[in-house]
Amino acid sequence: MPTFELNLSDDVYAEFQQLAEQEFVSEEQAAEDLIASGIEAYNVSVVDDDPRDEMLDGAENNMFDTAQDPGSLEDDRL
């Protein structure tokens, strides 16, 4: 398993130790789980779909649908 060294401020390390004691079996497991959770939270898929794009596409399609006979003479007959 790869290892690495990390420098933390005293405050952050104290919080980490407290969390590791309360929630995890060991500091090693705490570090692994917290880093994995952080990576998972960081790798959020970005949705680039703008709902306005769909609305504009729909409006554009409707313009072409009604352009065939916008003022139908047959509809005006009594």
Q: Give dist(CA 63, CA 17) in Å, integer.
A: 64
pTM for the whole thing? 0.50
With 70 as the cut, is the pLDDT of residue 13 above it?
Answer: yes
Dihedral angle computed from the Cα positions of residues 19, 22, 28 and 34, in that order, rounded to the nearest 10 degrees: -50
CA angle 26, 28, 32 (to 5 degrees): 120
Q: What is the pLDDT of residues 41-69, one digit of tens each?
A: 887 665 656 555 566 566 555 555 555 55
